[in-house]
Amino acid sequence: MSVVRAGFVGLGNIGKPMALRLAAADGIDLVVYDVAADPVAEVTAAGAKAATSVADLAGEADVVCVMVRDDDQVREVAADLDPGTVLVIHSTVSPETPAELEARGLTVLDAPVSGGPMGAADGSLAIMVGGPADALGTARPVLEAMGSKVVHAGPLGAGTRMKLARNLLHFVAFTAATEAQRLAEAAGLDLRALGDVVRHTDAITGGPGAIMHRETTAVLDPGDFWFGVFEHVRALGEKDLRFALGLAEDLGVDVPLTRLARDRLGPGLGLPTDDGAI
């Protein structure tokens, strides 16, 4: 079995469990660096080697994974790497930062992750990768030791753009959840019980991802399979949103996202409005 020399910089809430997965993986020799001593000690106890600096780590790794706080810290790490090293950026950075670092002569993959500390701990992260296929091939054994879904999103920067789209959905949904909680609270409902129902049913239906099967957001042709499916979704959604808006008005609860959803659900699905417009 060939051995991949991997480095990991940044052993925080998500970085540490990712590095622990690498330390336990067959075929990977891992060296780690962090300014905090405790996580370094934990990962080295699991089988990794500790570096005294990023430059020290760079001399012992062909693939360097970075999970640090922001773009500036990523740049600091990149400044100490050799051009032949594959730099894998797991931090969520500006879409322009990976190309900026590539222009310095580095081989770069932007590979943000989704799944949080729990996914990092059990190796079930989704890792969205932008960059050249040959560099991904070099880094793939490292990535597959940390994530159960490794997606080549496209050229450099595409991984970051996919992560931003994914997180747009994540945090808009969080905001919608707070709106639903205000409505439920005003109606005298148990908010924890509501949360249990949401988690239970989203695990069955797939949540918002259940409608994300098309390859385009273009207007649907009436003969398209999805036209009938989404007409049904719109009918149910607009009915329930109408009832929710009525309840909110009765209870004096402001629900601006609900009003937007009522107006934009159909067009967002690619369906015409009552006047035929999209």
| Gap between the Cα atoms of 167 and 151, Å rounded | 16
Q: Are residues 8 and 56 in the same domain?
A: yes
pLDDT tens-digit series, residues 188-229: 999 999 999 999 999 999 999 999 999 999 999 999 999 999
**Do residues 39 and 94 make contact, with C-beta atoms less than 8 angstroms apart?**
no
Q: Is 163 a catalytic residue?
A: yes
CB-based contact 268:190 (threshold 8 Å): no
pLDDT band for position 2 (cuts 50, 70, 90): confident
Q: Are residues 135 and 24 in the same domain?
A: yes
Q: Which of 27, 24, 28, 85 is nearest to 54 (CA)?
A: 85
Q: How many residues does the chain have?
A: 278
Q: Which of 16, 49, 149, 163 is catalytic?
A: 163
Both 105 and 182 in a single domain?
no
Give the domain range for residue 226.
162-269
pTM reported for the whole predicted model: 0.92
CATH number of the domain where residue 170 is located: 1.10.1040.10
Give the tens place of pLDDT for each residue, 88-147: 999 999 999 999 999 999 999 999 999 999 999 999 999 999 999 999 999 999 999 999
Nearest to 97 by CA among 127, 73, 61: 73
How many structural domains are present in the chain?
2
At 54 the pLDDT is 97
Q: Where among 107, 132, 155 does a domain terminate?
A: 155
Do 100 and 14 belong to one domain? yes
Give yes or no: residues 103 and 186 share one domain. no
What average pLDDT is seen over the chain? 96
Domain boundary among 155, 189, 204: 155
